[in-house]
Amino acid sequence: MEITRGNTETMLSRRTVLAGSAAAAVAATVGATSPAEASSSGLDRAALQAALDRIGATGATAALARVDSPSGSWRGASGVAELGRPAKPPVGGQFRVGSITKTFVATVILQLAAEKRLRLDDTLQRWLPGAIPNGARITIRQLLQHTSGVFDYTEVLFATLDDVLRARYRTFRPEELVALAAARPPVFEPGTSWSYSNTNYVLLGLIIQKITKHAYARAVGNRILRPLRLHGTEVPGTDATIDGPHAHGYEPIEQDGEIVPLDFTDLNPSMAYAAGEIVSTTADLNRFYRALLGGRLLRPAQLTEMLGNPAGEIGYGLGIFQQPLPGGPTLWGHTGGIFGYLTYSFSTADAKTQLTVSINPWIGDFGPALTDLALLAFGVTASTARTLAPVVPFPMPGVRFPAS
């Protein structure tokens, strides 16, 4: 985020480089400094840590990562927990996961479908009458898959720099967020195209509340967090702080002609609600995706629905998307971006191997280092990757700072 009134064009171009490095993290071809080939007897922990250190050195104030696989587990930390202090970030620390929240919400919706408390082809109008003007033509499935055409409220809420500052500590009701989108025309007719919209998942959170008679956070807690013992994961509501040990998140601002960091760790997560408010850890996210893809959270029919018929340019299922690796498996998971934090969490389809990376981005290009880390985690050697087409980039949808 660039909170400045001066030289905005220059700052935004620098921030665009940062955003691009995140979005293209796995799209870059393997760089000159390539990872050591994975040992057949287990994970190459030294190479994984070296790749993580390069993320910190080339474009982040802090980075955390964890790999869980049949070859063992590894976790690492790099950078500093807080600028101006020497302490490293806590290796098991918490962070804001942003849009990875959507996979949790989609899981609850599909559980309710299995219980016949809703149908994926139910209309939005049935559950939330009048919430969106054309709600009678929008289905729950379309909300889950971003084929609803509903306008993304964040484009209004964070339209200007002043808007972001006003919103940072404000408490929003989800109905307020929906109203911002309802006041704008649809992006397209429902079911005719694909466009990522955070409003879809705000609406799904409200549908969960309507059906269960409780806030969606309780459903996530009862149905996912407690059964899986995800003790480091929280649905914070209006709590602006991260309660556990954590690295600080920063955004670049201009002061007196220089770029300086603004600590953006604290914010009121009601601005994201069911589209992106969750706080978690690398261990918890790996465990979540392992349980989800391993069939512990959804019945076979619902898991098939979640992964089947992916849509759009990123291959989006229902709250989850696919990510191919060159010379390796096609992964499933999600990315998340919210002010000060970027998160990548993916698993093999057979639920055997997971990688989660949390990055507190700064100006730079950590893309090649993140590429190396992902290839190492999923057992793809640099030499193999070089002979194949580049990976489709990990998309980074989420709450973004305004471009002007």
Digit-coded pLDDT (tens) for 90-120: 999 999 999 999 999 999 999 999 999 999 9
In the 8-state DSSP scheme, what is residue 214? S
Average pLDDT of 174-182? Answer: 98
**In this structure, what are the phi and psi dihedrals at residue 385, rounded to the nearest 5 degrees?**
-65, -35
> So what's the pLDDT on residue 397?
60
Share of the chain above pLDDT 90, in %: 74
- Per DSSP bridges, beta strands 258-263 and 279-280 are unpaired
| pLDDT above 70 coverage of the chain, percent | 84
**Topology of the domain covering 45-378:** Beta-lactamase (3.40.710)
Q: For residues 32 and 353, give the distance between their C-alpha atoms in angstroms, rounded to a whole number.
A: 26
Is residue 383 part of the annotated active site? The answer reads no
Q: Report if pTM > 0.85.
A: yes
> Residues 328-374: pLDDT tens digits?
889 999 999 999 999 999 999 999 999 999 999 998 888 889 888 99
* DSSP assignment letter at 188: S
How far apart (Å, rounded) are the C-alpha atoms in residues 4 and 183? Answer: 29
Nearest CA to 333 out of 380, 282, 385, 388 is that of 282
Q: Residue 63: CB partners within 8 Å, gap ≥ 6?
A: 52, 55, 56, 77, 78, 79, 89, 357, 358, 359, 360, 366
More confident residue, 164 or 141: 141
Q: Which among 163-172, 281-290, 378-387 has the top mean pLDDT? A: 281-290
| Total residues belonging to the chain | 404
Q: State the catalytic residue, choosing from 21, 69, 78, 99.
A: 99
- Supply the mean pLDDT for the chain: 87
pLDDT digits (tens, 9 = 90+) for 218-249: 999 999 999 999 999 999 999 999 999 999 99
Q: Among the ranges 9-18, 189-198, 392-401, which has the highest mean pLDDT value?
A: 189-198
- State both tokens at 231: 């003790």
Q: Grade residue 384 by pLDDT with cuts at 50, 70 and 90.
A: low
